[in-house]
Amino acid sequence: MKWKVTLSDLNFDQRERKMVDEVIENRWLTMGEIVERLEEEFAHFMGARHAITVSSGTAALHLAMRALNIKPPDQVIVPSLSFVASSNAILYVGAKPTFVDISGWNDFNLSCEDLEKKITNKTKAIVVVHYGGYLADMQEIKRIARKHKLFVIEDSAHAIGADLNSKMAGTLGEVGCFSFFSNKNLATGEGGMILTHNDRLARKLKLLRSHGMTSMTLNRHKGHTYTYDVVELGYNYRMTEISAALGILQLKKLHRANKKRKVLTELYVSNLKGIDGFSIPFRDYPRKSSYHLFPILLNKKVNRKKFMEFLKKERIQSSIHYPPIHKFSYYRKNLRGNQTKLPLTEYVGAHQVTLPLHPLLEKEDVIFVCDKIKKILPQVLR
């Protein structure tokens, strides 16, 4: 299928190509000076004390759990309306995810009311996902976390560049995790970043990222040291120099790209106004979003499968964010997902559709998509 309008696209040009060429000419591919430069620039951009690159957003979440010493029989609260990695990371360390419902049809972020109800004496942390780049209610979440002595881990995979009163998403809890997967606002193919203000956590995260080793390959390559000790059970979650080079350029483009996403989101909203059959969440959102996704929520009377098939016929790519995690077979079998009741999450999981949004989209593309939606909707009513 050759899409006319893709869901996402790489905001790459000759500069990325040139930078990758330079890395190859340098003849050093694994974590080195370019990775360090990305970490410095990302930390500065975000206003965080430490930025630690990793190989993916999933690795970032896993290391966050390890660094905070989350282990059995701890429980961690997480929204089910997220990518499965948000919850898998909790399982990797033998802890138990407790799923929390979303706030409502206009706000797909976690409900603070449900969050407080789900806290037990085993709860150690909350994973906050900023859905689509729209920040969850961090003030209230942090108040609850302080009251119950819980860590806050921000899964900021969608929220690169979003902020709350000039403080960036990913800097508001103990640890902030980012994904640089190909469809993200900052894309390096695979890759991720962890932010923290805490020196001790940063040291531990760096050790865990590279097998708990006390010296890096680059140090040995440069002849600074010959041997090393292993002081933690770590992993190979290192980023390559090629990914870091892409990340440096993508970071430079981020502000402008997010602004374009905002303009396109507003264009969608104004062109879809007054059409019966769906609602658009996060209206009147008061803060700076990163506009990662453009989600709509179909009414019960609209057949989603048919709606998405009609879009496909028009060569418009669409997606679903998300099939709820607790409903997946693995979670049903192993975590009694069947007995978990999250009515709002389940409704959104069954009726939500994500429309194309990325900085290479033109205004005409958005208008094209809106016109097709107006045409399609009467044909897909139940």
Ligand X SMILES: Cc1ncc(COP(=O)(O)O)c(C=O)c1O
Site for ligand X in 41-80 (CB under 6 A): 56-58
Q: Number of residues in contact with ligand X, rule: CB under 6 A?
A: 14
Minimal CA–CA distance to 208: which of 173, 191, 233?
Answer: 233
Contact 93, 116 (CB under 8 A): no
Q: What is d(CA 352, CA 183) in angstroms, rounded to the nearest whole number?
A: 19
Compute the Cα dihedral for 355, 356, 362, 365 and give only its sign.
negative
Minimal CA–CA distance to 103: which of 94, 112, 95?
Answer: 112
Contact 10, 320 (CB under 8 A): no
**Block residue for tokens 């007054």:** 274
Q: Is 126 in the site for ligand X (CB under 6 A)?
A: no
Smallest gap, in angstroms, from Cβ of residue 136 to ligand X?
12
Interface region with ligand X, contact rule CB under 6 A, candidates 33-41, 81-89, 247-255, 261-269: 81-89
Smallest gap, in angstroms, from Cβ of residue 7 to ligand X?
13
Instruction: Return the residue of 85, 110, 169, 355 that touches ligand X, per CB under 6 A.
Output: 85
Q: What's the number of CA atoms in the CB half-sphere (13 Å) around residue 29?
A: 2
Q: Is 83 in the site for ligand X (CB under 6 A)?
A: yes
Q: Is 86 in the site for ligand X (CB under 6 A)?
A: yes
Smallest gap, in angstroms, from Cβ of residue 146 to ligand X?
24
Q: Is 98 in the site for ligand X (CB under 6 A)?
A: no
Site for ligand X in 147-206 (CB under 6 A): 155, 157-158, 179, 181, 192
Smallest gap, in angstroms, from Cβ of residue 367 to ligand X?
28
φ, ψ at 43 (rounded to 5°): -60, -45
Q: Is 354 in the site for ligand X (CB under 6 A)?
A: no
**In which element (H, E) is residue 78 found?**
strand 75-79
Q: Is 50 helix (H, G, I), strand (E, B) or coil?
A: strand
Q: What is d(CA 211, CA 259) in angstroms, rounded to the nearest whole number?
A: 39
Q: Is 129 in the site for ligand X (CB under 6 A)?
A: yes
Interface region with ligand X, contact rule CB under 6 A, candidates 10-18, 20-28, 83-91, 304-312: 83-91
Instruction: Return the residue of 53, 75, 82, 250 that touches ligand X, per CB under 6 A.
Output: 82
Smallest gap, in angstroms, from Cβ of residue 332 to ligand X?
21
Of 32 and 79, nearer to ligand X (C-beta) is: 79
Cβ-based neighbours of 16, under 8 Å, separated by 6 or more: 245, 246, 249, 250
Of 85 and 377, nearer to ligand X (C-beta) is: 85
Cα angle 30, 290, 118; round to 5: 90
Contact 181, 75 (CB under 8 A): no
Q: Is 100 in the site for ligand X (CB under 6 A)?
A: no
Of 50 and 158, nearer to ligand X (C-beta) is: 158
The residues of the shown chain that bind ligand X, judged by CB under 6 A, are 56-58, 82-83, 85-86, 129, 155, 157-158, 179, 181, 192
